[in-house]
């Protein structure tokens, strides 16, 4: 099988660091000519727009404060959650929610490096971020079950997260559409598709799958681990987690699900931030 290209967690963080933020300088610095855009001359107590990575360096040296972006506030995040709730049928784009494309990665870096510059309390922001992420993940999983090619609303971060799964699923579907008759050629591909968790039998997708040959193929336990043949990156944290089992997907309210505790699937975005968050709530 063709190896699936991925953006690793570190590479996504790298891209997020390229985004620009405002800083409030505490120190004067001359303009610095860079390979990319010049870092403007800094004067104390003035706002400047610089890339996040340089803001973090300056912040660590106590040369500036990072101005919290508007979207990293409880107000915007809670509003995003309620907007998503009000549109259960479709996923909203990050623009509609006033979020940047790589919001989870940026939020994480800002929470780590500039928690003292935040306006709202970091714990509450983490909780709000977590709620929004879970809600969106739930919607995305629903959307993927339909096997659609148009993934309206997905952010760049979520694309990076889901890429291996998504590409495998779509690749398989497209190939099946192409050569419906040629079963021999696609045999192995179908096996993989089933085992990668895309097509378990579920009320939602029965309609779509009735005409497809998936049901008749046996699944092979060995391949159940997600992304087992993913190449060098599967050991990293971003390779997407396996699908939560069906009972969790039917659950309407994602916040309840987390508090139910032990026996449910782990939240899809279990990075160190969210772990802290759960502990805090307990």
Partner 1 sequence: MDRDREAEREDRIANDIINDFEAEFHEGLKESKRVDIYNTEHLENQKRRDLETLKQAWINEKMVPTILPYEEELMKRMFERIRKQLEFIEMNNVELQTQEKDIKLILVLIESELERIQFMIRSYVRLRLRKIDKYALYIQEHEEEKDKLNNDEITYMEGHLSMQHGLFEEQFLKKMNLTRRGNLGEDKEMVVIPDKSFPVITSAIRDTYVSNASINEGSVYVAQWQEVSQGIAAGDLKIL
Binding site for partner 1 (CB under 8 A): 2, 5, 7, 14-15, 17-18, 29-30, 32-39, 53-54, 57-58, 61, 63, 93, 95, 149-154, 156, 159-160, 163, 166-167, 170-171, 174-175, 178
CB of 9 to partner 1, least distance (A): 15
Smaller CB separation from partner 1, 19 or 273: 19
Under 8 Å between Cβ of 39 and 50: yes
Smaller CB separation from partner 1, 149 or 181: 149
Smaller CB separation from partner 1, 70 or 95: 95
Smaller CB separation from partner 1, 7 or 21: 7
Smaller CB separation from partner 1, 37 or 266: 37
The single residue listed with the structure tokens 């403007």 is 40
CB of 96 to partner 1, least distance (A): 9
184: closest CA among 211, 208, 224, 213?
A: 213
CB of 258 to partner 1, least distance (A): 27
Smaller CB separation from partner 1, 51 or 242: 51
84: closest CA among 94, 74, 73?
A: 94
CB of 261 to partner 1, least distance (A): 34
Under 8 Å between Cβ of 117 and 25: no
241: closest CA among 262, 264, 217?
A: 264
Under 8 Å between Cβ of 233 and 8: yes
The single residue listed with the structure tokens 């681990």 is 225
DSSP state of 222: G
State the Cα–Cα distance between residues 261 and 263, nearest whole angstrom: 6
State the Cα–Cα distance between residues 175 and 192, nearest whole angstrom: 13
CB of 205 to partner 1, least distance (A): 17
CB of 40 to partner 1, least distance (A): 10
């Amino acid at each position: 099988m063709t190896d699936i290209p991925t953006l690793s967690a570190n590479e996504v963080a790298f891209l997020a660091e390229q985004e620009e933020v405002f800083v409030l300088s505490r120190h004067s610095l001359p303009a610095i000519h860079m390979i990319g855009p010049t870092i403007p001359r800094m004067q104390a107590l003035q706002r400047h727009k610089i890339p996040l990575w340089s803001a973090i360096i300056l912040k660590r040296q106590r040369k500036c404060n990072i101005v919290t972006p508007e979207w990293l506030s409880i107000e915007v995040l809670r509003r995003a959650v309620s907007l998503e709730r009000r549109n259960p049928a479709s996923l909203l784009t990050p623009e509609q929610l006033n979020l940047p494309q790589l919001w989870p990665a940026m939020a994480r870096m800002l929470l780590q490096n500039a928690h003292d510059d935040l306006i709202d309390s970091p714990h509450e922001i983490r909780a709000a971020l977590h709620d929004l992420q879970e809600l969106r993940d739930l919607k995305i999983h629903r959307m993927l079950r339909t096997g659609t090619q148009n993934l309206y609303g997905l952010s760049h971060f979520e694309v990076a997260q889901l890429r291996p799964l998504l590409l495998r699923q779509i690749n398989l579907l497209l190939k099946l559409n192409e050569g419906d008759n040629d079963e021999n050629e696609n045999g192995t591909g179908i096996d993989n598709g089933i085992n990668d968790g895309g097509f378990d039998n579920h009320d939602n997708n029965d309609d779509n799958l009735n005409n497809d040959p998936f049901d008749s193929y046996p699944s092979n336990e060995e391949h159940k681990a997600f992304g087992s043949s993913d190449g060098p990156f599967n050991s990293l944290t971003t390779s997407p987690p396996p699908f939560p089992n069906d009972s969790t997907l039917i659950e309407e309210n994602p916040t309840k699900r987390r508090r139910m505790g032990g026996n449910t699937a782990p939240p899809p975005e279990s990075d160190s931030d969210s772990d802290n968050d759960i502990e805090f709530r307990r």
